[in-house]
């Protein structure tokens, strides 16, 4: 099987930028396919000027020039320039590197991930060249220029006028897709409830699994006089970091300590400490996940947006760490309250009360931890690969069937024709 995989970011030694879990998934996924004997090429958006082709772990990684006024993930505070950028991104019709690599590599499928900078033009070009397109939804790019559906401290329940205007062509472009995968039921339903993907033959969910190499989880001896909670990820408003700090301010520092892993400036660290001046907090910086999980008893994911499928949930389970999550996004689908972790409301008072109750029963923490470690029915990254491979094979078979169809009987458009695949 030949797979052309695209992702706005794809970390390599020559371009190390990581913003979220999607690019970590993309690299682990591509390398997993290669380990199974598939041929893979990667196209990412250029993140620095003059970024050239790179070979990483046997995979050719191409950087497509971004046809816009600045590169993705560039700090841009000018609202007018941001609007222009998103408008250009929405109207993009050409993807020359995609066309070039399709002609040279001849993939069986194009698998797109995050799209900023690459745009939905990659779908159009691939479909017109006869390559089936599968898209994995890691964010809200198709309905929100900021990709988060989060504004003014709250998760958006609807699509505002400006977002509707700046994503109009993105939504229309979904008719080029042969399949769409949500990393959670929630992220897929937010799109389908708006009528998006109505013409996409396959709509399904494949949940994230830990992208870490397989390793044995480790039980952590619990100290009865204190419990160590941990937060790992981007320290941003939608991730609930401010609510977490305010919750810590209301908790006894002699019973609870907090480990925070993730990049944070000295100025932001000082601001966060001021929200909980008496709490015992250690900022670990950007560290390997193993180092973080070995030092915590319970992981906290206090998101206040519909996080599509946070990798922290899968990583915590793989490490045998119970997780306290909120009712947002994909977390309620994978956390069984009191069995594999806990769910709470996201406000500071509810967070504090849940953390207090958890800390008061360390034996329950140990019970859940051992249950996670002993689970023999874990959803592994190998299962993710197998699920996608099955979809690829369906798309390839459907494509071959269309190629065998006499020209006069061929459907008008290969990407939207009913292919015999059963929609979800």
Task: Compare 413 and 114 and report the one with higher pLDDT.
Answer: 114
For residue 159, give both structure tokens. 């699509």
Q: What gap in Å lies between CA 365 and CA 354, rounded to an integer?
A: 13
Phi-psi sector, 50: left (phi>0), alpha (psi -120 to 50), beta? left
For residue 63, the SS3 value is strand
Give the model's pLDDT for residue 424.
38
**Dihedral (CA of 24, 26, 31, 32) sign:** positive
Q: What gap in Å lies between CA 33 and CA 388, rounded to an integer?
A: 10
Give the lowest-confidence range in 37-46, 58-67, 69-78, 305-314: 69-78
Give the lowest-confidence range in 210-214, 254-258, 344-348: 210-214
Q: Are 385 and 33 in contact (CB under 8 A)?
A: yes
Share of the chain above pLDDT 70, in %: 93
Q: Residues 77-81: what's their mean pLDDT? A: 86
Give the model's pLDDT for residue 212.
78
For residue 88, the SS3 value is helix
Rg of the chain's alpha carbons, rounded to an integer?
22
Give the lowest-confidence range in 12-21, 201-210, 332-341: 12-21
The partner residues of 60 in beta bridges, in order of sequence, read 41, 55
- Per DSSP, 66 falls in state P
Give the model's pLDDT for residue 74.
80
Q: Residue 117: pLDDT above 90? A: yes
- Per DSSP, 234 falls in state -
Cα 255 to chain center, whole Å?
34
Could you tell me which residues come within 8 angstroms of residue 217 by beta carbon, excluding any fewer than 6 positions away? 318, 319, 320, 372, 373
pLDDT bracket for residue 199 (50, 70, 90) = very high
User: What H or E segment, with its residue span, contains residue 111?
Assistant: strand 109-112
As a whole number, the mean pLDDT across the chain is 91
Task: Compare 424 and 83 and report the one with higher pLDDT.
Answer: 83
Q: Are 274 and 307 in contact (CB under 8 A)?
A: no
Give the model's pLDDT for residue 214.
59
Dump pLDDT digits (tens) for 214-265: 566 767 766 667 999 999 999 999 999 999 999 999 999 999 999 999 999 9
Q: What gap in Å lies between CA 419 and CA 402, rounded to an integer?
A: 8
**Dihedral (CA of 91, 93, 94, 95) sign:** positive
Size of the chain, expressed as the number of residues it contains: 424
Give the model's pLDDT for residue 403.
78
pLDDT bracket for residue 339 (50, 70, 90) = very high
Q: Residues 104-109: what's their mean pLDDT? A: 98
pLDDT bracket for residue 60 (50, 70, 90) = very high
Give the model's pLDDT for residue 84.
93
Question: Given 3-state DSSP classes, what are the helix, strand and coil percentages for the chain, each rounded to the nearest 5?
Answer: 40, 20, 45
Q: Residue 417: pLDDT above 50? A: no
Q: Residue 398: pLDDT above 70? A: yes
For residue 42, give both structure tokens. 């990667």
Q: Residues 174-193: what's their mean pLDDT? A: 97
Q: Residues 146-173: what's their mean pLDDT? A: 93
Q: Residue 412: pLDDT above 50? A: no
Q: What gap in Å lies between CA 395 and CA 401, rounded to an integer?
A: 10
Other C-beta atoms lying within 10 Å of the C-beta of residue 139: 23
For residue 404, the SS3 value is helix
Give the model's pLDDT for residue 77.
74
Helices 348-359 and 241-249, axial angle in degrees (round to 10): 60
Nearest residue to 17 via CA among 286, 214, 284? 286
The DSSP annotation for 206-232 comes to: ------SPP------PPPTT-EEEEEE
Give the model's pLDDT for residue 385.
98
- Residue that has been written with the tokens 């206090």 in this structure: 302
Q: What gap in Å lies between CA 271 and CA 98, rounded to an integer?
A: 44
- What is the CB-side half-sphere exposure of residue 87 using CA atoms within 13 A? 8
What does pTM read for this prediction? 0.91
Give the model's pLDDT for residue 221.
66
Terminal-to-terminal C-alpha distance of the chain:
24
Q: Residue 283: pLDDT above 80? A: yes
Give the lowest-confidence range in 12-21, 54-63, 209-218: 209-218
Q: Are 49 and 136 in contact (CB under 8 A)?
A: no
Q: Residues 113-136: what's their mean pLDDT? A: 97
């Amino acid at each position: 099987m030949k797979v052309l995989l695209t992702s706005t970011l794809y970390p390599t030694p020559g371009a190390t930028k990581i913003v979220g879990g999607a690019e970590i998934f993309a690299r682990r996924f591509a390398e997993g396919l290669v380990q199974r004997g598939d041929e893979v090429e990667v196209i990412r958006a250029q993140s620095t000027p003059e970024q050239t082709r790179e070979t990483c772990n046997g995979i050719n990684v191409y950087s497509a020039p971004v046809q816009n006024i600045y590169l993705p993930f560039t700090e841009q505070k000018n609202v007018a320039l941001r609007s222009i950028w998103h408008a250009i991104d929405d109207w993009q019709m050409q993807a020359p590197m995609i066309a070039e690599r399709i002609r040279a590599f001849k993939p069986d499928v194009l698998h797109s991930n995050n799209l900023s900078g690459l745009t939905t033009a990659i779908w159009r070009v691939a479909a017109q060249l006869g390559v089936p397109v599968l898209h994995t939804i890691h964010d809200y790019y198709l309905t929100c220029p900021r990709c988060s559906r989060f504004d003014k401290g709250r998760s958006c329940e609807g699509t505002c006028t400006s977002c509707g205007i700046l994503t109009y062509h993105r939504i229309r472009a979904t008719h080029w897709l042969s399949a769409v995968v949500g990393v959670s039921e929630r992220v897929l339903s937010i799109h389908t409830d708006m009528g998006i993907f109505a013409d996409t033959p396959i709509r399904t969910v494949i949940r994230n699994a830990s992208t870490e190499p397989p390793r044995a989880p480790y039980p952590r001896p619990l100290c009865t006089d204190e419990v160590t909670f941990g937060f790992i990820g981007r320290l941003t408003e939608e991730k609930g970091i401010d609510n977490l700090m305010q919750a810590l301010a209301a908790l006894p520092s002699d019973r609870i300590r907090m480990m925070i892993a993730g990049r944070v400036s000295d100025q932001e660290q000082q601001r966060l400490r001021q929200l909980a001046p008496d709490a015992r907090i250690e900022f670990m910086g950007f560290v390997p996940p193993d180092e973080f999980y070995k030092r915590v008893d319970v992981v906290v994911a206090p998101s206040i947006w519909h996080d599509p499928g946070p990798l922290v949930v899968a990583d915590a389970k793989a490490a045998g760490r119970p997780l306290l999550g909120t009712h947002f996004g994909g977390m309620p689908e994978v956390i069984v309250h009191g069995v594999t972790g806990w769910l709470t409301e996201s406000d500071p008072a509810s967070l504090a009360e849940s953390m207090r109750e958890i800390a008061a029963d360390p034996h329950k923490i140990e019970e859940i931890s051992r249950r996670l470690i002993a689970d023999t029915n874990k959803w592994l990254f190998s299962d993710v690969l197998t699920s996608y491979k099955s979809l690829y094979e369906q798309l390839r078979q459907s494509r071959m069937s269309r190629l065998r169809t006499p020209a006069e009987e061929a459907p008008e458009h290969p990407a939207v024709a009913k292919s015999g695949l059963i929609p979800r």
